[in-house]
Structure 1
Amino acid sequence: MTQPSIDSEINLDGTKRTLSNRHVQMIAIGGTIGTGLFLGAGSTISKSGPTIILLYAVIGLLFFFMMRSIGEMLYSQPDQHTFVGFITKYLGKGTGVFAGLTYWLALIFAGMSELTAIANYVKYWFPDWNSALIEIGFLIILALLNILAAKAFGETEFWFALIKIIAIVALIVTGVFMALTGFKTPKGTSSFGNVFTNFSLFPNGFHNFLGSIPMVFFAMAGMEFVGITIGETKNPRQVLKKAINETVYRILLFYIGALFVIMSIIPWTSITPDRSPFVQVFQIVGFPAAAAVINFVVLTSAASALNSVLFSSGRHLFQLSQELGFKPLDKITKSGIPSRAVLTSATLLLFAPVIVSIPAISNAFQFVTSGASDLYIVVYILTMVAHRQYRKSADFMPDGFKMPFYEVTSPVTIAAFSLIFFSLFSNSDDVIPASGAIAWVILFGGFCFFKYRGQKIAA
C-alpha cells in the first residue's frame, strides 16, 4: 500500500490533517488534566499528605519515558493514526486486536468518570437536578461537537483546556502570594512550611500510600492523546517533538505546583477527601464566590477531558473496525470524521448513570477510574514491549526522536507499570475492577491469541 506524504492534508483512511500545534498541545493537556487532579487530588492528599508530590513526580517520570517511546515510533512513521497500531505491527494481529479493544474500553471507563464528575459539579448549583439527565445532556452536546469536524473539536478543546490552565496558574500565583504574606485562614496561617510541618513519608501508613497510587496514575493517564492527534496534524514530525516534551513538562508543573500550593494555603489534614481541594481552598479562605468560579472551572475541565475521550475513542474504534473489516463502523464523513465510531463510543458512555445507581458500588467515581486505570496499564505495557520490538526492526531510525537511556528506562518503566497494577488491590473499591481486568486479559487475550495466531494486518 502506498504511504501518504507526511505533508499531505488527507490521510489514506480519509481523515484530514487539520489540527495545528496549539490544538495538539491543548488536546493533550485537556485529556490529562481533569478529574484526577481537580476531584481525585482530595483523596490522594488525605491518604498520603505531602508525599503525594513525590509520587506525582515519579509516576510523571514514568509517563515521560512511555511518551518518548511512543514519540520515537511516531516520528519514524507519522502516518500511523494511533499508537496502538504499533502494537499490531510489532506484536502481531491478535495482540493488536486485544490492545485496541482494551484501550477503547479504558477510554470508555475514563469517559464515565468524567461524566460522573460533571454531574457532581453541576449539582453544586442545582442539587435537586437528576444526575443521569445532566450526564446525558452533556454527552449529547460534546458528541455533536466531535462529529462536526476535527478542527471544530480542536478549537473547542483549545478553549476548554485554556480555562483550566488559567485557573491552575491563578491558584498557584494566589497561593504563593498568600504563603509569602502569611495569610490567615480559619485553619491556620498560610505558609510553605505547612507542607513540611511534622513531615512523614507515610503519615497514614504504607497501606494508604499504596492506595493513593491508582488515583495518581489515573490523573496522568491520557497523556498519550498527543500521539493520537498526530495523525490529524499538519507537519507531524515538526509538531511531534515539541508536543511530547512540552506537554509532559507542563503537566508535571501544573500538578506538582498546584498540589504544593494547596497544601501551603491550608494544612493537608484539613482537606476533605471526597470533594475538590480547589473548591475547598477558596471556601476555607472566605471567598465563596471564588469557590463557585472554581467549580465552573473544574466543570469545564471534566467536559474538556470528556471531549478528548470522545475524540480518541472514536479514532481507536474506527481504526479497529478497519483492521477487522467491520464495515458498519468503517465510515468517514466528508469532513473526515469517523462519526459512527464516535457515536458508538458516546452511546456506551451512557452506562455511567447505570453504574452510579448500583447499590453495591459505594464510590462510583473511584470504581470507574479504577476500571480505566487497569486497562490503561495493560495497553501501556504492551506499547513499551512493542517499542522494544521496533528497536530491533528495520524501521528503527538511529537519528530519530529516540527514547533517552533506552537500555535502562524501558525495562524499568515496564516493571513499574506492572507494580502499579497490583497496587490497585490495596483499595477495596478497586478490587473488583482489578480482578475483572485480570479476567479480561486471560479470557479475551487468550481468545485473540488463538484466533489471530500467526496473522498479520496487510500493510
Structure 2
Amino acid sequence: MPQFAQALARGLNVRHVRFMALGSAIGTGLFYGSASAIQAAGPAVLLAYMVGGAAVFMVMRALGEMAVRHPVSGSFGQYASKYLGPFAGFITGWTFAFEMAIVAIADVTAFGIYMGFWFPDVPRWIWILAVVFFIAALNLMKVKVFGETEFWLSLIKVSAIIAMILGGVLIVLFGFGLPAEANPGFGTLLAAGGFFPNGFWGLLASFSIVMFAFGGIETIGITAGEAQNPKDVVPKAINTVPIRILLFYVCTLGILMMIYPWNQVGTEGSPFVQIFDSLGIPAAAHILNAVVITAAISAINSDIFGAGRMMFGLAQQGHAPASFSKISRHGVPWMTVLTMGIVLLAGVVLNAVLPESLFLIIASIATFATVWVWVMILLSHISMKRTVKREGLLASEFPSPWWPAASYVALAFMGFVIVLLGIIPDTRIALIVGAVWIAFLFVAYKVWVRGKGHERAELIDETGRESVPAEAH
C-alpha cells in the first residue's frame, strides 16, 4: 500500500472558499448558457432556476455534512468509496474530473466567443490557447495565490452583477435608454406569450442548461482538504447557496427579461452584453464584456482546481496513477494541473473544427456528468446517515435539513433530469456519451484497479493517513 507523506498546503481561508463557491456558480452557465435556457422556457426559466437551485442546495447540504465529518482531499470521491464501495468512489471521482474537464472546455469556448466581441476577425482558438496556458501557470503557484486570484476575479463579477441589477431596476422604473414605446417591467416580461410561452414542455427542456449552470458548485467540498478551518469554512460557504441562486440567477435574469423581450435574446455572445448593446449603451456593453471574460477566467480557474484535487485524492486511493499524488514545493499537485491543461488543449482543436455547434453539445454532456456526481453525493450521504444511526456514532455537526424526505426528493429530481436528457433530441447525445463513459470506467476499474490489487475503501486525509476506520463492503 503506497504512502503519501507530502500534504496539500492548507492556504484557503473563509474569504477564499466563499468566493471560490461564487466562482464555480457564476460563470458560463449564467453569462452565456442562460440565453439557450431563456429561449427554451421563456420567463418560466425563472421557475426552473428556483426548482433546480433548491435541489442543488440539498445536494450541497448533504456534501457539507460529509465534508465537516471527513475534511479530506478528494472529498465526495472518497466518501463514495467509504459508504458505497470502492467502485462507486472510482466512478464518482473520475466522473467529477470528467465533468470539470468538459465544463472547462465549455468555459474556454465561451471565453473565445467573448473575445470575438472585440476582435471578430481573430480565430477563436488563438484566445483559447492563450487562456489555457495562463490558467495552468496560475494553478501551479501556491494555493494561497490561487485563492487570492479567485477572490478578486469573483469579486469583480459579483460587484458587476449587483450593479447591473441596480441599473436594471432604474431602467425598469424610469425607462433610461429605452425607446418611447417601450414598456419595461412585467409588461415586457409577459408580452410574448405569458409566463409559459412554450408550455410545460419548454420548462422541462430548459433544465439541461439550468442544471449545467450550477455545475461545479460542489467544488466547495473539494476545498475542505485545503481550508484552514474546514468545520467553520465549509458550512458558511454552503449556507450562502440559496441567496446566491436567488440574487445571481433569478433576480438577474428577471430584470433582463423585464427590459428586453425574452424571445429576442439570441445566442451570439453573452445575452447580458447583447441586451445592453441593443439599448444603445456601447460603453456598458464593453464593460460587461470585460466582466464576462473575467467570469470565464474565474470559472476555468475553479474547474482546473477541482479536477486536479479530485485526481490527487483518487491517486491516494490507488484509483489514479501514483504520479498524480506528486506535490510541488508550493504544496500543489502539479501533475494533475498539467494533465488538465493538456485536456483543455482539446478545446482548442474542437473550437477550430466545430466553432458553431460546440457549446450546446458540451453543455449537455457536462450536465449528465454533473447530475451523476450529485446523485452519487446524495447516495453517499444517505448511506452515511444510515451508518451513523446503525453504529451509534456522534451526531453530525452540520446536519442536512429535512432529513430524510428532502434528500430522497432531490435524488428523484436528479434522476428525472437524466431522463430528460435522453428525451430531448438536442441533448440526447449527452446520454449516449455518458453511457459510453460509465462503461469505459467499469472496464478500467476491473482491469486496472481490481486487476492490480489497488482497491481501497479508506478515507484518506491530506497526509495520506486513514482519517476514519474503513467500513466493510
Separation in 1, partners of 2:214, 2:69: 25
Q: Does 1:338 align with 2:349?
A: no
The change in CA–CA distance for 1:72 and 1:12 in structure 2 (over 3 A counts) is farther
- Whole-Å Cα distance in 1 between the matches of residues 67 and 401 of structure 2? 15
**Residues 189 and 266 in structure 1, CA contact (< 8 A), matched pair in contact too:** no
| 1:369–1:175 distance in 2 versus 1, CA, 3 Å | same
- Corresponding residue of 1:385: 379
Structure 2 counterpart SS, 1:353 = helix
Counterparts of residues 160-239 of structure 1 (less than 5 Å):
160-183=153-176, 185-186=178-179, 188-197=182-191, 200-239=194-233
SS, match of residue 240 in structure 2:
helix
Deviations 1:144-163 (A, max 9, x none): 01101101111111111111
- C-alpha contact (below 8 Å) 1:47/1:208 kept by paired residues: yes
Match of 1:83 in 2: 76
Structure 1 distance, partners of 2:396, 2:383, is 17
Q: Do 1:318 and 1:341's aligned partners in 2 also have CA atoms closer than 8 Å? A: yes
Aligned length, in residue pairs: 449
Which of 314, 319, 322 matches 1:327? 322
Displacement of 1:87 after TM fit? 0.6
Does the residue aligned with 1:410 lie in a helix, a strand or coil? helix
* Contact preservation (8 Å) 1:179, 1:192: no
- Deviations along 1:322-354, whole A, 9 cap, x unmatched? 212622222001111001111111111111122
Separation of aligned partners in 2, 1:216 and 1:440: 22
TM-score, structure 2 as length reference: 0.89
Write the deviation string for residues 348-375 of structure 1: whole angstroms up to 9, x where unpaired. 111112223445x851011111111111
Task: Provide the residue aligned with 1:290 in structure 2.
Answer: 284
Q: CA-atom RMSD, angstroms? A: 2.3
The counterpart of 1:405, out of the listed 398, 402, 405, is 402
Contact 1:25/1:247 (<8 A) preserved: no
Matched, 1:276 2:273: no
Q: Displacement, 1:449?
A: 6.4
Structure 1 residue 446 displacement after superposition: 6.0
Q: Report the 3-state secondary structure (helix = DSSP H, G, I; strand = E; otherwise coil) of the residue aligned with 1:188.
A: coil
Cα deviation for residue 95 of structure 1 reads 1.3
Residue ranges of structure 2 left out of the alignment (5+ in a row): 459-465, 467-473
Shift of the alpha carbon at 1:253?
A: 1.6
Partner of 2:347: 352
Cα pair 1:29 1:251 within 8 Å, conserved = no
Separation in structure 1 between the aligned mates of residue 200 and residue 347 of structure 2, nearest angstrom: 32
Q: What is residue 138 of structure 1 aligned with on the other side?
A: 131
User: Residues 81-135 of structure 1: CA distance to partner in whole angstroms, max 9, x if unpaired?
Assistant: 4222101111111111111111111110000000100111111111121222211
Tell me the distance in 1 between the aligned counterparts of 2:9 and 2:399.
27
Tell me what 2:14 maps to: 21
Indicate yes or no: 2:417 matched with 1:424.
no
* Aligned match of 1:250: 244
**TM-score, scaled to structure 1:** 0.92
The yes-or-no answer on 1:457 pairing with 2:457 is: yes
> Do the aligned residues in 2 keep the contact of 1:53 with 1:260 (CA within 8 Å)?
yes
Write the deviation string for residues 170-200 of structure 1: whole angstroms up to 9, x where unpaired: 1100011111124462482322442244664
The one-letter code matched in structure 1 to 2:240 is E
Aligned partners of 1:129, 1:397: CA distance in 2, in Å? 59
Q: Residue 456 of structure 1: SS of its match in structure 2?
A: coil
Shift of 1:433: 2.4
Q: Distance in 1 between matches of 2:414 and 2:396?
A: 28
Question: Using a 3 Å threshold, how does the CA distance of structure 1 residues 13 and 67 change in structure 2: closer, same or farther?
Answer: farther
> Structure 1, unaligned stretches of length 5 or more?
2-10
- Is the 2:172–2:259 contact (alpha carbons within 8 Å) kept by the matching residues of 1? yes
Match of 2:235 among 229, 238, 241: 241
In the aligned structure 2, how far is the partner of 1:13 from the partner of 1:196?
Answer: 58
Deviates more, 1:187-196 or 1:326-335: 187-196
